[in-house]
Amino acid sequence: MRKLDHTTIFFVFMGSFLVLFILIPIANLMVSSNLNSIISNLQNSAVLGAIWVSVYSALIATILAVIFGVPLAYILARHDFAGKGFIESIIDVPIVIPHTVSGIALLLVFTSSGILGAPFNNLGITFVNALPGVVICMLFVSSSFVVNSAREGFENVDPRMEKVARTLGSGSMRTFFVISLPLSLRSIVVGSIMCWARAISEFGSIVILAYYPLAAPTIIYQQFENFSLSGATSISVILISLCLALFVVVRLLIRGWGVYDTD
């Protein structure tokens, strides 16, 4: 075994602080939970329904972020144009503004009389206290992760490879799907995972726009507000365990597909 140098040992020590800072509260939450309460909540249809709302809505939000965010990321990576910096700033705004502000902004736009809410309402789609409202809240706060990660992936692809493909007769769309997209897949997948994770944890904007149907963070807050710390803790443990399990499965699948290979 290679002996670690002093710099590596120092960095390991410093990094361990952050790992423990994250690990200790989560581990303490897990061991502080009441097993009977966890079992009871696992049999509670309202709790299971709220968790399903979060998982399902986050998945839909992630799919929408990939569909619309990957093309935008490619444009930002490959082209310089007037207003590019402004577009990049707009993409990052949802990360920095308070999520209650996001909720208010979305409420004004997607209410039944709002700019976007009114035409959707005519089609029978409502957002206030409805599942589509949960989805757009999640999409609003998490889509930037897909765009930024995918853009970094496209920027790491040598443009000369795309030019060679085009000189050999490949069209721009075919070049994108055969060259650019596969070589950027790792970044897109990582961005998608982060997008889903951020979406499933959203609370502030959902409470304002779509309190119902109850999502997992909302029902946890509801339990805490009703002075049921045991209930809130047990639901939190269930949600954390589910997220950890999904993360492990997704990462194993990604490694199995060779997405993380760098050779």
DSSP state of 177: I
On whether residue 9 sits in a domain, the answer given is: no
What's the CATH number where 145 sits? 1.10.3720.10
On whether residue 16 sits in a domain, the answer given is: no
On whether residue 231 sits in a domain, the answer given is: no
Tens digit of each residue's pLDDT (9 = 90 or more) over 54-102: 999 999 999 999 999 999 999 999 998 898 999 999 999 998 899 899 9
Range ranked top by mean pLDDT from 105-119, 169-183, 218-232: 105-119
So what's the pLDDT on residue 256?
A: 65
Indicate the residue type of 23: L
So what's the pLDDT on residue 224?
A: 87
Share the mean pLDDT of the chain: 88
On whether residue 255 sits in a domain, the answer given is: no
On whether residue 119 sits in a domain, the answer given is: yes
Tens digit of each residue's pLDDT (9 = 90 or more) over 167-181: 888 888 888 988 899
Burial 146-160 (b: 16+ CB within 10 A, else e): bbbbbbbbbeebeee
User: Average pLDDT of 7-36?
Assistant: 88
Burial 59-79 (b: 16+ CB within 10 A, else e): ebbbebbbeebbebbbebbee
Tens digit of each residue's pLDDT (9 = 90 or more) over 188-221: 988 998 999 899 999 999 999 999 999 999 999 9
Look at residue 229 and tell me whether its pLDDT is greater than 50. yes
Look at residue 258 and tell me whether its pLDDT is greater than 70. no
On whether residue 23 sits in a domain, the answer given is: no
Domain count, the chain: 1
On whether residue 22 sits in a domain, the answer given is: no
Residue scoring higher pLDDT (152 or 6): 152
On whether residue 126 sits in a domain, the answer given is: yes
Structural domain including 104 reads 47-214
Residue scoring higher pLDDT (191 or 231): 191
Q: What percentage of the chain carries pLDDT values higher than 90? A: 53
3-state helix, strand, coil in the chain (%, to 5): 80, 0, 20
